[in-house]
Amino acid sequence: MANLAAAYWGHDSSICFYNDQSKTFHVIEIEKLTGIKHYRGHARYEEQKEILERCLKVSEEDFGIENDYDVFIVGSDIHEQINPLCLDPDIVKQVFNVRETTTHHRHHAAHAWGAYAQSPWVTKRCTVFTHDAGGDDGHTHIWRADSKRLLSLDKVNYDRTTYGYIDTRFFGRNYNISSGLGCQNMVGVTPNPLDMAGKVMGASAYGDHMSYFGHCGKGLLNEDEEITEAINPSFPWFRRQYMKSEQGLVRDNIMRYGRTFSSGKEWWVDNQADSPEEHNYFQMFISPLQLTWEEECDVAAGIQRQHEDNVLEYLQTPRVWDEIVRNGKRLVISGGCGLNILTNTRIQDELGLEVFVPPDVNDGGLPFGMLCKYMAVNGMSEFEGVDIRYAGQPIQDMELLDVHKSTIITLEQLADLLKDDNILGLVQGTSEVGPRALGNRSIICDPKGWDKKDKVNIVKCRENYRPFAPMVRQEDAHIYFEATSYDNLEYMNFSVKTREEYKEELAAVTHVDGTARVQSVTRKSNALVYDLLSACGGVLLNTSFNVRGKPILNTLKEAFEVLEETALDGVVVYHDEKLHYFTSELL
């Protein structure tokens, strides 16, 4: 069998390659290729060939894959009656030498297969739980996984008339809508709606879910029409316009410069957005309540708490819970809602489950899942228990390493720079997959100091209420943090408690509620970071190497721009077993 490839071309577009010669997977996240966060390939049709040609070049030159493919799998679009494919297979054939193109249907199946393949239970029975804001096969699924087979046991579509009541199982959709309606201050500085949920989750720790506005947040999440109309009375009208068909738009003479649109959503995006990625229509709404920051935090706390309660209630419904118990109480989580670390933690702690969440639960992980399903159907076993956390592409312009003057330093000198309170960008190897930096495209610093969090937020140009993650050697995690399990903290997908005696020392990585989103590190997973933690003697702050509105960077040009334009103290590039240290004075 020759090489394989799969692509998803919605938001967070990406391509996953399988190199048949080396038996390895490689991922190109298009946002890191273009510098456009949450890149939406389906809305940039005219760029398809150019982007594919760039991906082909990376696959050949950096991944060493010959342009010879048995199959290229294209992910389906949610609106198949309007736009059958997000990526045109004819354009694929113009760029890639491929014998067959095929379409992968079932968005959640790709989420499930990709997460299951990375889990420690590929050869055992487990349950897979996928939930997000929606795909071509609904919003929520429960899967039985058994010996490389996945069977969908429960599926939730958005159709309120089916159930006759407000259904609370549209977890991602309801979280996004309630956040957009109830947290206007946060929405106002968030061009891309995909970034809202993380901000609301962070702000929820500052609020009280039992307060009046906390109850309003709960009502928003559960689609209470009275509360929704009180907080944002124009939303019901907007929803009717947004859901209109092409015929409805024509009937109501809704067009632009004589142009008709295939859906209400397309019309709103075209009218409002400067780019396909930045169409946060919630910025149009102005709540008559004009909530204060503190009141919005209460709304956020209510949204977050009700989301957690709804998810836990769903998992404990008899049919779902019986399946989880039958499969050894082992649960794999994927889909965009898998990024909600507070919910993941409650699932693990309160339900007494072993829980695994991979690093690429967002839609950028779909192509890997498509390939895993294809391999399973065709009897291939190469995906079993595979670790793709660093399967991304290498730095695109490493030639700049020799253009600017740098200082070669030792690991001990790097540790000393961190101990001296320098905030540094760290670049090494291939990029991480998924939305979180795990030490290869990171900003790091010593977490000690009451003002360190504020300094890093200034570097990243982001809101000061948002938390940062600590990185720690896996064997040391129990010293600083209290957790139900220390075996699943490598991807920052769970919230643990900072031990009381270390809260002051680790103030920069401890959230206002006393929790931390730990990344544990082993020598096998990341040798440089592991040795650096050993040299620093404890914990480091780790956040993604980017600034607000930009994806995690993947060029030295971007790294040097951050160095010159922000308060970052230096950039360290580990290449050819040497640590190259750059400062703004040397550029």
16-25 confidence digits (pLDDT tens): 999 999 999 9
CB distance 365 to 109 below 8 Å: no
- pLDDT, average across residues 553-559: 97
Predicted TM-score (pTM) of this structure = 0.94
Q: Render pLDDT for 464-509 as a digit per residue (tens, 0 to 9).
A: 899 899 999 999 999 999 999 999 999 999 999 999 999 999 999 9
User: What percent of the chain has a predicted confidence (pLDDT) above 70?
Assistant: 90
Q: Dihedral, CA atoms, 32, 36, 39, 41, nearest 10 degrees?
A: -100
Higher-pLDDT residue of 548, 553? 553
Higher-pLDDT residue of 278, 388? 388
Q: Render pLDDT for 410-440 as a digit per residue (tens, 0 to 9).
A: 999 999 999 999 999 999 999 999 999 999 9
- Estimate to the nearest angstrom the gap between the alpha carbon of 349 and the chain centroid: 23
- pLDDT, average across residues 551-567: 96
Q: What was the pLDDT predicted at 168? A: 60
Residue 282 has pLDDT above 90, yes or no: no
Residue 82 has pLDDT above 50, yes or no: no
Task: Give residue for tokens 């995006």.
Answer: 269
Q: Whole-angstrom Cα distance, residue 555 to residue 398? A: 8
CB distance 49 to 344 below 8 Å: no
Q: What is the DSSP string of 208-240?
A: -TTSHHHHHHHHHHTT-HHHHHHH-TTHHHHHH
- pLDDT, average across residues 50-60: 98
550-578 as b/e: b if 16+ CB within 10 A = bbbbbbbebbbebbeebebbbbbbbeeee
According to DSSP, residue 119 is labeled S
Q: What was the pLDDT predicted at 9? A: 93
Beta-strand relationship, 519-521 and 469-473: parallel
pLDDT band at 350 (very low <50, low <70, confident <90, very high): very high
Q: Whole-angstrom Cα distance, residue 566 to residue 568? A: 5
Task: Give residue for tokens 């299951």.
Answer: 116
Beta-strand relationship, 126-135 and 98-104: unpaired
CB distance 155 to 137 below 8 Å: yes
Q: What was the pLDDT predicted at 59? A: 98
Helix (H) or strand (E) holding 573: strand 570-575
CB distance 82 to 262 below 8 Å: yes
Which tokens sit at 131?
């939930």
355 closest CA partner among 197, 495, 191: 495
- pLDDT, average across residues 191-204: 93
